[in-house]
Amino acid sequence: MKNTLQKLAVAGAVALALAPFMSFALTGINPTLPSADLTLGKVTDLIGTIANWVFAIFLAVAVMYILYAAYLYLKGEEAEIEEAKKRLIAAAIAIAIALLAKGIEPLVRSLLGGQGQGGAGLLQ
């Protein structure tokens, strides 16, 4: 029984991994590989996109931690109040990381001389 479940799990994982390629076959889309001509603008845009994702994820986690800490605090037991304090500290750290992530793109853009941030840049 355990062996059958393992085989089923592997088959499901393979099917999920191949699902995008199946959709290309159905719609007639010809997937192309990204070109190798990276420019400074593309790199900073990629860094900005990643930073925006990190910002959103850490902010969402922080909100969940704050809500959970409020729930624990409202229960009123001493152990849960201590756990709530720890959760609030973790939420503050998550917010700090989110804010740092938001500042990465302008920093890299100004250091490397990208558009729009007014810095002289290292590569100009």
pLDDT per residue as tens digits for the range 39-75: 777 777 888 888 888 888 889 989 999 999 999 899 8
Q: How many whole angstroms from its chain centre is CA 61?
A: 11
Give the containing element (helix H, strand E) for 55.
helix 40-75
> Tokens standing for 6?
């393992």
* Cα 41 to Cα 68: distance, rounded to the nearest angstrom: 40
What pTM was computed for the model? 0.58
Tens digits of residue pLDDT in 66-91:
999 999 899 889 999 999 999 999 99
- Contact of 94 with 59, CB cutoff 8 Å: yes
Residues 6+ apart with CB under 8 A from 120: 113
Q: In this structure, are residues 65 and 36 in contact, taking their beta carbons and an 8 Å threshold?
A: no
